[in-house]
Chains A and B, each alone.
Chain A
Amino acid sequence: MANAVQAHESVAQADAHAPHAHIQHDTNTGISNTKLGMWLFLASECLLFGGLITTYLLYKHPLEGPTPKEIFDIPFTSTSSFVLLMSSLTMVLAVSAIERGDHQRLRIWLGATALLGATFISGQIYEFTVFVREGLGFTTSRFSSAFYTLTGFHGVHVTVGIVMLMSLVLLSLRGKLPEHRAETVEIVGLYWHFVDVVWIFIFAVVYLIP
């Protein structure tokens, strides 16, 4: 056994010395507190985004200024939506990598997820600047205020997700993310997928439905 311990190559696995005593969660539901808490938080977020989307639907026909139909660049947004959708795939692959104990792949997939997320955010910033140049400022119309607030809120959520992903990569590099903490990655993943799911909704309801 001592040999086996020495055989660890990656720095990340050094922390695997930590005992595995808490893999089985000692809770009434069998779900760890953190995971249950994250799901509750996500359920609550549904009401938050629901309210913003409701506001948008109510205000999507402006009295002045550019209309959604004139201003949206569907091919561009479709591409960035696709990028965000694929980041969900890389996220689940990261979770499954750490569950296998593959720390190298974990970092690759986490990095890829963060990169795809950053691509999406860059696309959003680009989209916003184009819109502003075309005359759709934040205060232009009821549509513009609702649109920027809704998509901006989503963008902030994606940004927070990227920060969490990068923090995980750093933790993993420092060897602080052993397998028995795989759930941390999974929980950040839950948040990430939720942000993706919200965008699936926004993409259909805000951009595609004429």
Chain B
Amino acid sequence: MAITSHDPIPTAQLDGAVKDYSRDKVYVLTALFLAALTVVEVLTYAFPDFPAWSGNLVIVVLMLLMAIKFFTVVHIFMHLRFDKPILTWIFWAGVVLAGGVYFAALCTFRIFWPGSHG
């Protein structure tokens, strides 16, 4: 228990991380990665006719990019990846439940079919 304020406290003790990791470097790289994805997202708007996301494909591309960004922030910045698994279970239970229930509700409104808007 004799930890003086000079010695850095082992990170694992502070945030309950299961393993130690080099933090700031990971964080900055993650932020650059997120920024790059955001640039791609905005490009879909700027160049709507680019073949990789022309037509309805753009929805798939954007949802995929969004999912990657979502996952990255949650698992790196909120360090679920390094933390106790039960937190991952709890959070994804909420996400999956919300996704499933609301997707089903929207399906009963048939909004994903052309020509039908609520």
Does B50 interact with chain A (Cβ within 8 Å)? no
Q: Which residues of A contact B66 (CB under 8 A)?
A: 200-201, 203-205
B11-64 contacts to A, CB under 8 A, are 11, 13-16, 23-24, 27-28, 30-31, 34-35, 38, 41-42, 44-45, 48, 58-59, 62-63
Q: Which residues of B contact A101 (CB under 8 A)?
A: 5-6, 8-9
Q: Is the CB of B84 within 8 A of A200?
A: no
Does B81 interact with chain A (Cβ within 8 Å)? no
Within the complex, the shortest CB–CB distance from A41 to chain B, in Å, comes to 10
Q: Is the CB of A190 within 8 A of B78?
A: yes
A21-60 contacts to B, CB under 8 A, are 21, 23-25, 29-32, 35-36, 39-40, 42-47, 49-51, 53-54, 57-59
Q: Which residues of B contact A197 (CB under 8 A)?
A: 70, 73-74
Within the complex, the shortest CB–CB distance from A146 to chain B, in Å, comes to 11
Number of interface residues of B (CB under 8 A): 58
Q: Point out the residue from A43, A82, A180 that lies within 8 Å of B9, measured CB to CB.
A: A180
Q: Point out the residue from B24, B31, B58, B95 that lies within 8 Å of A96, measured CB to CB.
A: B24
Within the complex, the shortest CB–CB distance from A30 to chain B, in Å, comes to 6
Please report the number of residue pairs spanning A and B whose Cβ atoms sit closer than 8 angstroms: 170
Q: Point out the residue from B8, B63, B73 that lies within 8 Å of A196, measured CB to CB.
A: B73
| Chain B binding surface SS class | helix
Does A174 interact with chain B (Cβ within 8 Å)? no
Within the complex, the shortest CB–CB distance from B24 to chain A, in Å, comes to 6
Q: Is the CB of B8 within 8 A of A200?
A: no
A71–B117 alpha-carbon span in the complex (Å): 20
Q: Is the CB of B5 within 8 A of A54?
A: no
Binding site for A on B (CB under 8 A): 1, 3-6, 8-9, 11, 13-16, 23-24, 27-28, 30-31, 34-35, 38, 41-42, 44-45, 48, 58-59, 62-63, 65-66, 69-70, 73-74, 77-78, 83-84, 86-87, 90-91, 93-95, 97-99, 101-102, 105-106, 109, 111, 117-118
Binding site for B on A (CB under 8 A): 1, 4, 8, 13, 16, 19-21, 23-25, 29-32, 35-36, 39-40, 42-47, 49-51, 53-54, 57-59, 61, 74-75, 78, 81-82, 85-86, 88-89, 91-93, 95-96, 99-101, 178-180, 182-183, 186, 189-190, 193-194, 196-197, 200-201, 203-205, 208-210
